[in-house]
Amino acid sequence: MVLTRQVAVAAAILASVGLTGAQNTTNISSDTFFYGQSPPVYPAPIAKGTGDWAQAYAKAAAFVAKLTLEEKNNLTYGITPENGCSGIIPPIERLGFAGMCLQDAGNGVRNTDFVSSFASGIHVGASWNKTLAYDRANAMGNEFKKKGVHIALGPVVGPLGRLATGGRDWEGTSNDPYLAGAMAGETVKGIQDAGVMTSLKHFVGNEQELYRNPGVDSENHYVESISSNIDDKTMHELYLWPFADGVHAGTANIMCSYNRLNNSHSCANSKVLNGLLKTELGFQGFVVTDWFAQHSGTAAALAGLDMAMPDGQSFWGANFTEAYLNGSVPESRLDDMATRIIAAWYKLGQDSPSYPTPGIGMPANLSEPHTIIDARDPASRSTLYEGAIEGHVLVKNENKALPLKSPKLLAVFGYDAPAPPQYMPNGNSLLTNPFTTGYESAFNQLSLAFSSTEIDWPSQLQIASNGTYSVGSGSGANSGPYLSAPLDALQQRAMKDGSVVYWDSALQPGLAGLYEAADACLVFINAFASEGMDRPGLHDDYSDNIVQTVASTCSNTIVVIHNAGVRLVDQWIDHPNVTALIFAHLPGQDSGNSLVDLLYGDAVPSGKLPYSVPKNESDFANMLRHSYAVPPYAYFPQSDFTEGVYIDYRAFDAHNVTPRYEFGFGLSYTTFSYSKLAISIVKGARTGTYPTGAIQEGGQVDLWSNIASVSAVIKNTGSVTGAEVAQLYIGIPGGPVRQLRGFEKVRIKPGQEATVSFDVTRRDLSEWDVGAQKWKLQSGVYNIYVGASSRNLPLVGTLRI
Ligand X SMILES: *[C@@H]1O[C@H](CO)[C@@H](O)[C@H](O)[C@H]1NC(C)=O
**Footprint of ligand X on residues 773-792 (CB under 6 A)?**
none
Rounded to whole angstroms, the Cα distance separating 129 from 714 reads 17
Check residue 279 and report its DSSP letter.
I
Q: Which stretch, 45-53, 319-327, 653-661, 756-764, contacts ligand X (CB under 6 A)?
A: 319-327
Q: Does 271 bind ligand X (CB under 6 A)?
A: yes
- Does 399 engage in binding with ligand X (CB under 6 A)? no
DSSP letter assigned to residue 790: S
For helices 591-599 and 381-390, the axis angle rounded to 10 degrees is: 60
d(CA 38, CA 272): 9
- The interaxial angle of helices 241-248 and 177-193, nearest 10 deg, is 20
443 conformational bin, left if phi > 0, alpha if psi -120 to 50, beta if neither: alpha
Which of 71, 519, 544, 643 is the binder for ligand X (CB under 6 A)?
A: 71
Considering only 160, 272, 419, 703, the residue that binds ligand X (CB under 6 A) is: 272
Closest CB 467 distance from ligand X, rounded Å: 8
Query: With respect to ligand X, which residue has the nearer C-beta, 529 or 799?
Result: 529
27 closest CA partner among 641, 631, 623, 534: 631
Site for ligand X contains 552 (CB under 6 A): yes
- Taking the C-alpha atoms of residue 487 and residue 458, their distance in angstroms, rounded to an integer, is 28
Member of 617, 753, 759, 767 binding ligand X (CB under 6 A):
617
Residue number with CB closer to ligand X (50 or 298): 298
Total binding residues toward ligand X, as defined by CB under 6 A: 61
Nearest residue (CB) to ligand X, 7 versus 79: 79
Query: Among 380, 386, 596, 360, which residue's Cα sits nearest to residue 491?
Result: 596
> Helix/strand/coil (H, E, C) string of 347-407?
HCCCCCCCCCCCCCCCCCCCCCCCCCCCCCCHHHHHHHHHHHHHCCEEEEEHHHCCCCCCC
Q: Does 606 bind ligand X (CB under 6 A)?
A: yes
709 binds ligand X per the rule CB under 6 A: no
Q: How far is the CB of 717 from ligand X (least distance, A)?
A: 17
Phi, psi of 208 (to 5 degrees): -140, 150
Provide the 10 A C-beta neighbour count for residue 58: 13
- Among positions 12-31, residues that touch ligand X (CB under 6 A) are 21-22, 24, 27
* Residue 73: CB minimum distance to ligand X, A: 7
Q: In whole angstroms, how far apart are CA 588 and each of 118, 422, 433, 479? A: 5, 18, 20, 9
> Minimal CA–CA distance to 130: which of 94, 177, 181, 81?
181
Stretch that binds ligand X, among 48-56, 153-161, 245-253, 313-321 (CB under 6 A): 313-321
For ligand X, the closer of residues 171 and 280 by Cβ is 280
Q: How many CB atoms lie within 10 A of CB 671?
A: 16
The alpha carbons of the chain give a radius of gyration, in whole angstroms, of 26
- Name the strand (E) or helix (H) holding 4: helix 2-16
The site map against ligand X for 215-244 (x = CB under 6 A) is ----------------xx------------
Q: Which one of 31, 82, 219, 368 is in contact with ligand X (CB under 6 A)? A: 368
Q: Which stretch binds ligand X (CB under 6 A): 240-248, 302-310, 547-555, 690-698?
A: 547-555
Does 169 contact ligand X by CB under 6 A?
A: no
Binding to ligand X by residue 367, rule CB under 6 A? yes
**Binding residue (CB under 6 A) for ligand X from 4, 55, 131, 752:** 131
**x/- binding map, residues 476-515, to ligand X, per CB under 6 A?**
----------------------------------------
Q: Nearest 5 degrees, angle CA 306-CA 308-CA 313?
A: 130
* Nearest residue (CB) to ligand X, 331 versus 705: 331
Q: Could you confirm whether 416 is annotated as catalytic?
A: no
Q: Which of 135, 176, 245, 290 is catalytic?
A: 290
C-alpha dist (Å) from residue 722 to 219, 345, 583, 668, 669: 59, 43, 18, 7, 7
Rounded to whole angstroms, how far apart are CA atoms 606 and 624? 29
Among 83, 428, 436, 543, binds ligand X (CB under 6 A): 428
How far, in Å, are 120, 496, 644 from residue 239 at the CA level?
20, 49, 10
The 716-755 site mask, x for binding ligand X (CB under 6 A), equals: -------x---------------------xxx--------
Shortest Cβ 415–ligand X spacing (Å): 9
Where in the sequence numbering do the catalytic residues fall?
290
Q: Which residues contact ligand X (rule: CB under 6 A)? A: 1-2, 21-22, 24, 27, 35, 38-39, 68, 70-71, 74, 79, 90, 129, 131-132, 135, 231-232, 261-262, 271-272, 297-298, 313, 317-320, 322-323, 326, 328, 365, 367-368, 383, 386, 428, 465-466, 516, 551-553, 555, 576-577, 606, 616-618, 630-631, 723, 745-747
